[in-house]
Amino acid sequence: MFKFLRIYSAFIKQQIKSLMEYKIDFMMGMIALGVNQISTFLVIFAVFTQIKAIGSYSFNEILLFYGYSQIVRGIDHLYNDNIWVVGWNKIKDGSFSNYLVRPIPILSHIVMERFQFDGFGEVLIGLAIFIYAKINLGIAFGLAGWMVLGFFFFCGLAIYFSIKLATAAIAFWTVSSGELMSVIYEVNTFTKFPLDIYKNFFLKNFLIYILPFAIVSYFPIAYFLRDQNFISNLLGFRYYHRELLIVFVGFVTVLFYCASRFLWRMGLRHYNATGS
């Protein structure tokens, strides 16, 4: 564990150095990411000058969903960005072989190699919005609630990790899978807002059962804001204890994680270094 942290910090130091190489460019990039954070918020802001609620959600509830989804996305963005490079390029240009000959487990090496500072914007703005909305809604989680939220949070990160890993693993067969990764990842845009406002049966079930981005941020917040009748209707089956949702989320997460690890392992076995 200690060795892991030491190596990680060495990697991060190198990264900061390379970013500082082009200072003006880096500054502009940071400003750009700030602007990007503002834009969705601007839509919410503009719309709520005119209407009271979207679907059954008030302004603060919408913000709570948005803030939470940004935090999860941001953390994933921070630590788990290098997998994109694997999907786009590493296998195509043969540099994936580097991972195979180093004395560190492959996946932790991939994670450690790049720390994406862009994610800080998402995390900070997400936290600010989440806290603001939570205070205004006046909901108290209590210790048990926070622990449940912590569990959901962990599951959300695991889902992101699994989806990115599985789509990147496709590259072992197709050499590059960056496009596919982008498309699948982009589906998470739907989770910025509560899922039921879209009022689309197909979309709802797709995001719950096929590509479970709903697990990432929708169910965790719905669990605290709505009762179990409401969530039963969403899931399409009835359940009688509120806590069963936690089991459901955990179950789907484990299923997805195992499946993507399996795919990754198959891919590794299939891997052949490209020429040059």
Partner 1 sequence: MIKSILKYSGFTLNAVKEQYAYKFRAIIWTFYNFILLFVQYFLWNAIFEANGGALYDISVKKYLSYVVMGMITNSFLHCLIDGSIAEEIKSGNVSMNLIKPYNYIYMNFAKQIGYTLGSVISLSPLIIVAFFMTGLSFVSVQALLFFIVSIFLAYMIVFLFNMFLGMLAFWITNYWGLRLLKWHVFVIFSGELMAINMFFKIGNNGISNFPIPLPEAAVQLFFKTLGIISYCLPFQAMNYTPTAIYTGMINDTRQILVHLGVQVFWIIFMLGLVRLVWSKAKNQITILGG
Applying CB under 8 A, the residues found at the interface with partner 1 are 21-22, 24-33, 35-36, 38-39, 42-43, 46-55, 58-60, 179-180, 182-183, 186-187, 189-190, 193, 197-200, 203
Q: Which is nearer to partner 1, 25 or 227 (CB)?
A: 25
Q: Which is nearer to partner 1, 1 or 20 (CB)?
A: 20
Q: How far is CA 249 from CA 137, 163, 165, 170, in A?
A: 25, 15, 19, 25
CA pseudo-torsion sign 76, 196, 222, 192: positive
Instruction: Give phi and psi for 245, each to the nearest 5.
Output: -60, -35
Minimum CB–partner distance for residue 239 and partner 1 (Å): 27
Q: Which is nearer to partner 1, 107 or 203 (CB)?
A: 203
Q: Which is nearer to partner 1, 152 or 160 (CB)?
A: 160
Residue that the structure tokens 């679907």 belong to: 55
CA separation for the pair 106, 267 (Å, rounded): 13
Minimum CB–partner distance for residue 263 and partner 1 (Å): 18
Minimum CB–partner distance for residue 132 and partner 1 (Å): 9
Residue type, 199: K
Task: Calculate the dihedral angle through the C-alpha atoms of 89, 91, 94, 97, rounding to the nearest 10 degrees.
Answer: 120
Q: Which is nearer to partner 1, 155 or 214 (CB)?
A: 214
Minimum CB–partner distance for residue 204 and partner 1 (Å): 11
Minimum CB–partner distance for residue 67 and partner 1 (Å): 15
Minimum CB–partner distance for residue 138 and partner 1 (Å): 14
Q: Which is nearer to partner 1, 104 or 197 (CB)?
A: 197
